[in-house]
Amino acid sequence: MISTRRTLVAALAAIGTLASVTACGGSSSGGSSASSGAPKGTYAFWDPYPQFDASSDWGKRVTACGTQAGVTLKRTAYDTTDLGNKALLAAQQGNAPDVMLVDNPVVSTLVEAGILTKTSDLGLDTSAIQKNIIGAGTIDGASYGVPIGANTLALYYNKKILSAAGVDPASVKDWASLTAALEKVKAAGKKGITFSAINTEEGSFQFLPWFWGAGGDLTKLDSAKGVAALALWKQWVDKGYAPKDVLNNTQTTSWQEFATGTYAFSENGTWQLGNADKAGFPYGIINIPGQNGGSAPVPTGGEFVTVPVQKDTGRYAVSKKIVTCLTSSANLLPTDTTLAYVAPTAAVQAEQVKQNPKLKPWVSAVASARGRTSNGLGTKYPTISQPMWTAVQAALSGSKNPQSALDTAQSAAEKGKG
């Protein structure tokens, strides 16, 4: 139960700050809230996929899991942010859904509000799930949901452009070699790299691989390591390796630029694989490099299947069956027509790569991924992310230098924690 109104208000503010950064977020909401007076044999399920109707692969999966659990699963789809807000209000009113799929950064906010049950209390086994993936839903050593999969970021590249510029993609191993490749591409008359630096969570999501790849710490935004990452992006924009419109680019519009066939690289996600196949030019994928080599840690995207606290604890047994079904190996395996996620377990990942070899670099990227709210950040993350994306905007627009921009961001983050 939610302990105080103050906790609820704080949680609502945190969820309002976070926005979906994967391909699964929708722009509209639908359906009605769960009711404590739901007919016997009917269980309420909420998810953030309003773009998928009952006839979609996802809609059919949900229905089938209800049937398998011996109940009718009434599905309601909301926009990601709307779902989080409605979940908090429903819990306060005592009519939370039985099962809920939420964006991973929202889990810690809901836990702080006291409305999610621990997986251990439900008897759900999460031991096979990769630690870095389950970490986004783990608070104080306890997990509060089961990930349905993960997606993250890597670099798509246009094979024709790199070949014409004399760049071997295998040579891109660190920031210096990537910047050298961008210089060659520009000299050959083509464009360098697209990414999203917009002033929303998408901008932070895309900046994090470079920030973490330099060894940056989210509790110390203004460290020399963080400044190095922002200076790299600024260098690319100033030298014309990246377009100035990265300041307004979402991940979708950034991809649309790459899809024109005039850019060498695009920082984007697993969810663009289908679009890449339709782009009309040969492409490849490499992991985002760390400053001094190796794969940079990338942020984990994806959702967790959670079970909200219920007054009638007798409902948990069926809810457990629903969660187990939705996260079964058979249901985690599809990568094309459903959610295009990399599975959270090594065994299913291996099968996914067998079916679709193009997923191999994504499996590697997910292995290096970090939850944005991991390492004890929890609900502090939104108070850090917003100043960070504001700093990126300030530096790339030229209103502040990278050090000054991140100094301001660190000060704002420290105030936001209070």
Give 197-220 as a DSSP string. Answer: --SSHHHHHHHHHHHHHTT-BTTB
The answer to whether the CB of 69 falls within 8 A of the CB of 325 is yes
Best-predicted range by mean pLDDT (25-39, 56-70, 329-343):
56-70
The count of structural domains within the chain is: 2
What is residue 16's predicted lDDT score, i.e. its pLDDT? 55
The answer to whether the CB of 97 falls within 8 A of the CB of 46 is yes
What is the three-class DSSP state of 74? Answer: strand
What is residue 247's predicted lDDT score, i.e. its pLDDT? 97
Could you tell me if residue 24 is inside a domain? yes
- Domain check: are 317 and 194 in the same one? no
What is the three-class DSSP state of 406? Answer: helix
pLDDT digits (tens, 9 = 90+) for 1-37: 334 344 444 555 555 555 445 444 333 333 333 444 4
What is residue 30's predicted lDDT score, i.e. its pLDDT? 36
Domain boundary among 348, 367, 386: 367
Contacts of residue 342, defined as CB under 8 A and 6 or more positions apart, other chains included, come to 149, 150, 151, 152, 270, 335, 349, 352, 359, 362, 363, 366
Instruction: Read off the tokens for 52.
Output: 């998928």
- Domain check: are 130 and 157 in the same one? no
- Domain check: are 163 and 260 in the same one? yes
Poorest-pLDDT segment among 15-29, 103-117, 354-368: 15-29
Could you tell me if residue 336 is inside a domain? yes
pLDDT digits (tens, 9 = 90+) for 400-409: 999 999 999 9
Contacts of residue 305, defined as CB under 8 A and 6 or more positions apart, other chains included, come to 99, 100, 101, 145, 146, 147, 148, 323, 326, 327
In whole angstroms, give the CA distance from residue 99 to residue 65: 12
Q: Mean pLDDT, to the nearest integer, of 36-60?
A: 83
Could you tell me if residue 90 is inside a domain? yes
The answer to whether the CB of 257 falls within 8 A of the CB of 264 is no
- Domain check: are 46 and 114 in the same one? yes
Q: Mean pLDDT, to the nearest integer, of 247-261?
A: 95
In the block, which residue shows the tokens 């700050």?
17
The pLDDT-based confidence of 382 (bands split at 50, 70, 90) is confident
The pLDDT-based confidence of 338 (bands split at 50, 70, 90) is low
- Domain check: are 206 and 227 in the same one? yes
Q: Mean pLDDT, to the nearest integer, of 238-258?
A: 96
- Domain check: are 72 and 105 in the same one? yes
Residue 252's domain is classified under what CATH number? 3.40.190.10
Q: Let me know the angle formed at the C-alpha of 243 by 409 and 151, rounded to the nearest 5 degrees.
A: 65
What is residue 377's predicted lDDT score, i.e. its pLDDT? 86
What range does the domain containing 292 cover?
Answer: 153-298+377-416
In whole angstroms, give the CA distance from residue 202 to residue 179: 23
What is residue 21's predicted lDDT score, i.e. its pLDDT? 52
Q: Is the pLDDT of residue 218 over 60?
A: yes
- Domain check: are 175 and 251 in the same one? yes
pLDDT digits (tens, 9 = 90+) for 127-181: 999 999 998 899 989 999 999 999 899 999 999 999 999 999 999 999 999 999 9
The pLDDT-based confidence of 390 (bands split at 50, 70, 90) is very high
Instruction: Read off the tokens for 243.
Output: 């377009």
Best-predicted range by mean pLDDT (55-59, 224-228, 272-276, 414-418):
224-228
- For strands 99-103 and 42-47, give the pairing: parallel
- Domain check: are 346 and 396 in the same one? no
In whole angstroms, give the CA distance from residue 325 to residue 366: 23
Q: Mean pLDDT, to the nearest integer, of 59-87?
A: 91
Could you tell me if residue 178 is inside a domain? yes
Average pLDDT, the chain: 88
- Domain check: are 139 and 278 in the same one? no
pTM over 0.95: no
Q: Is the pLDDT of residue 184 over 80?
A: yes
Could you tell me if residue 372 is inside a domain? no
Could you tell me if residue 216 is inside a domain? yes
Instruction: Read off the tokens for 415.
Output: 């105030």
Contacts of residue 166, defined as CB under 8 A and 6 or more positions apart, other chains included, come to 184, 188
What is residue 378's predicted lDDT score, i.e. its pLDDT? 85
What is the three-class DSSP state of 241? Answer: coil
Could you tell me if residue 307 is inside a domain? yes
In the block, which residue shows the tokens 């069956």?
321
- Domain check: are 286 and 401 in the same one? yes
